[in-house]
Amino acid sequence: MMIHLTNQFISKPKKWLLVSSIALFMIPFLTQANEFSSNGIQIGEVGQNVYDQQVILGGTVIPFKEVMITAQTAGQIDYLAGIEGDVFQSGTLLVAINDAALRAQREAALAQWNRAQVAHQNAITQYNRELWSPKTEQAMPGMGLPNLMDQMFARPMQNQMGMGDSEVSKRADLANASAVVQQSQAEIAMIKAQIDEIDVRLNDTKSTAPFNGVIVEKLVEAGDTVQPGQPLLVFAKSNHLSIEINVPVNLMYGINKGQIFQARIANGSPIPVRVAQVFPIANGQQHTVKVKLDLPLGAAAAPGMYAQVMVHNSQSQQQSFPVIPKSAVVQRGSLPSVFVYNPENNKVSMRIVRTGQASNGNYLSVLSGLQSGEQIVLNPPAGIVSGSVLQNGRLLTTTP
Mean pLDDT for 125-138 is 76
Is there a single domain that holds both residue 178 and residue 110? yes
- pLDDT category at 41 given cuts 50, 70, 90 is confident
As for how many domains the chain has, the answer is 4
Q: What kind and span of H or E run contains 201?
A: helix 166-204
Tell me, yes or no, whether 251 lies in a domain: yes
Residue 94's domain comprises 66-98+205-236
Is there a single domain that holds both residue 110 and residue 187? yes
Last-in-domain residue among 293, 312, 331? 312
For 190-294, strand residue ranges (E) read 206-208, 213-218, 225-226, 231-236, 241-248, 260-265, 271-278, 288-294
Q: How many percent of the chain have pLDDT more than 70? A: 77
Q: Which of 4-18, 107-121, 247-261, 322-336 has the highest mean pLDDT?
A: 107-121
Helix 100-132 crosses helix 166-204 at what angle (to 10 degrees)?
A: 160
Contact 49, 16 (CB under 8 A): yes
Is there a single domain that holds both residue 214 and residue 94? yes
Following CA atoms 137, 141, 143, 145 in sequence, which dihedral angle do they give, to the nearest 10 degrees? -60
User: How far apart are alpha carbons 182 and 127 in whole angstroms?
Assistant: 11
Q: What kind and span of H or E run contains 100?
A: helix 100-132
Contact 59, 308 (CB under 8 A): yes
pLDDT, position 1: 29
CATH of the domain at 286: 2.40.30
- Please tell me the least confidently modeled range out of 2-6, 195-199, 371-375, 386-390: 2-6
Burial of residue 240, with CB atoms counted within 10 A of its CB: 0-12 exposed, 13-18 middle, 19 or more buried: middle
Q: What is the pTM of this model?
A: 0.55
Is there a single domain that holds both residue 93 and residue 214? yes
Contact 80, 218 (CB under 8 A): yes
Say which DSSP state 144 is in: S
pLDDT, position 198: 95
Tell me, yes or no, whether 3 lies in a domain: no
Is there a single domain that holds both residue 187 and residue 228? no
Count other C-beta atoms under 10 Å from residue 192's C-beta. 13
User: How far apart are alpha carbons 215 and 85 in whole angstroms?
Assistant: 5
Tell me, yes or no, whether 11 lies in a domain: no
Tell me, yes or no, whether 7 lies in a domain: no
Is there a single domain that holds both residue 220 and residue 91? yes
Whether the predicted pLDDT of 5 surpasses 50 = no
pLDDT, position 132: 82
pLDDT in tens, 285-294: 888 999 999 9
Closest CA to 212 of 81, 60, 62, 86: 86
pLDDT, position 92: 95
Last-in-domain residue among 236, 254, 286? 236
pLDDT in tens, 342-399: 988 889 999 998 887 655 557 887 878 888 889 999 988 888 888 888 877 787 755 4
Tell me, yes or no, whether 389 lies in a domain: yes
Tell me, yes or no, whether 366 lies in a domain: yes
Q: What's the whole-number average pLDDT of the chain?
A: 79
Q: CA separation (Å) from 251 to 77, 206, 254, 258, 306?
A: 49, 46, 6, 16, 21
Tell me, yes or no, whether 264 lies in a domain: yes
Is there a single domain that holds both residue 297 and residue 180? no
Bigger pLDDT: 34 vs 150: 150
Bigger pLDDT: 346 vs 49: 346
Kindly give the pairing relationship between strand 17-19 and strand 47-63: parallel
Is there a single domain that holds both residue 124 and residue 159? yes
Whether the predicted pLDDT of 310 surpasses 50 = yes
Whether the predicted pLDDT of 318 surpasses 70 = no
User: How far apart are alpha carbons 50 and 39 in whole angstroms?
Assistant: 32
User: How far apart are alpha carbons 224 and 206 in whole angstroms?
Assistant: 15
pLDDT in tens, 92-120: 999 999 999 999 999 999 999 999 999 99
Type of residue found at 197 = E
Contact 265, 61 (CB under 8 A): yes
Q: What kind and span of H or E run contains 350?
A: strand 347-352
Closest CA to 235 of 81, 346, 350, 362: 81
CATH of the domain at 390: 2.40.420.20
The number of helices, as runs of H, and strands, as runs of E, in the chain is 4, 26
Is there a single domain that holds both residue 110 and residue 173? yes
Is there a single domain that holds both residue 134 and residue 179? yes
pLDDT in tens, 200-255: 999 999 999 999 999 989 999 999 999 999 999 999 987 789 999 999 888 888 78
pLDDT, position 397: 57
Mean pLDDT for 2-8 is 30
Contact 48, 82 (CB under 8 A): no
CATH of the domain at 72: 2.40.50.100
How many residues in total does the chain contain? Answer: 400
Last-in-domain residue among 312, 332, 367? 312
Tell me, yes or no, whether 60 lies in a domain: no
Is there a single domain that holds both residue 85 and residue 109? no
Is there a single domain that holds both residue 120 and residue 194? yes
Q: Please tell me whether residue 369 adopts helix, strand or coil conformation.
A: coil
